[in-house]
Amino acid sequence: MELEMYDDLESPQHNPALRMEINDAEIAYTDTGQGKPLVFIHGFPFDQSTWQEQAAHFRKTHRVITYDIRGFGASTAGRLFLSIPLFADDLVQLLDALEIPQAVVCGLSMGGYIALNAVSRYPERFEALVLCDTQCIADSEEAKEKRFKSIAQVESEGLQEFAIDFTDKVFSRETHNHRKDRVIQVRNIITRTPVEVVSATLKALAERSETCSILGQIRVPVLIICGEEDEVTPLKQSQAMQAKIAGAVLETIPGAGHLSNMDQPEDFNRRLEIFLNRLA
């Protein structure tokens, strides 16, 4: 399959005008709306544009922050010794720079790993936590082996086949059949990411620590969202987290896969809105 098939359908360019130095990287971000801060953290290997439908909806009632994790989208990578703790430190320093003492933080997939790492070390910075299509376990040996095979693949072949394989797994059947533009958007995001960033992040994911042991210490309201068709981080992982977090609410979204916020954005937004209204 040739990359040219995607060239005439570029993903929406968020081109965030706002940038700031965080640690040794330049982080691109958007800051819109007014009200209580609501921060969205994208997954791997995407960028903040995957939250565009949530940002458009919630900026009517909240101060919405989206940003490109270092190395992704319009953010620079800085050092390439990437790790989940480093990504979490970037999040907290971004909040510091924006003078946000406390926020509702919503992370999807790797964004959930980052949020869990951050809440374990900086619990006072969270008003509430939203964990979307993510998990608390570390990689098994089999999962690590798959990640290192992916590293070898992208370093020898580039990102085209990796992007095709990845998007085949993360979207629901309905999106693949009827919303192909979203699949193409995400494939384009992946293929524009530097190979060295993809490789370094795959290594960081393989080496991340589990966070299941800290779930019982979380004292803020927690919403867990999982697509019913999520095969990357299946529903059983969300159920396991809910069982360990006091008072956590679990919402399952029909017709959604791993990218539940893009597969079923209206349903996703409705469930998140109900949670936020309860906080208010």
- pLDDT for 218-268, tens place per residue? 999 999 999 999 999 999 999 999 999 999 999 999 999 999 999 999 999
Mean pLDDT along residues 35-40: 97
Residue 1 pLDDT: 31
Determine the pLDDT at residue 2: 31
14 has pLDDT over 80: no
Looking at the chain, the whole-number percentage of residues with pLDDT higher than 90 is 92
Tell me what pLDDT residue 57 has. 98
- Return the pLDDT at 79: 78
Is the pLDDT reported for residue 92 higher than 70? yes
Spell out the domains of the chain, with CATH numbers in brackets.
15-141+210-279 (3.40.50.1820)
- CA neighbor of 218 nearest in space, from 88, 107, 101, 119: 119
Give pLDDT tens digits for 204-232: 999 999 999 999 999 999 999 999 999 99
Name beta bridge partners: 250.
Answer: 224
Confidence at 280, pLDDT banded by 50, 70, 90: confident
Task: Give me the percent of the chain exceeding a pLDDT of 70.
Answer: 94
Contacts of 246-249 spanning 24+ positions with Cβ under 8 A = 246/216, 246/218, 246/219, 247/221, 247/222, 248/222, 248/223, 248/224, 249/221, 249/222, 249/223, 249/224, 249/275
Query: Average pLDDT of the chain?
Result: 93
More confident residue, 149 or 5: 149
Confidence of residue 10 (pLDDT cuts 50, 70, 90): very low
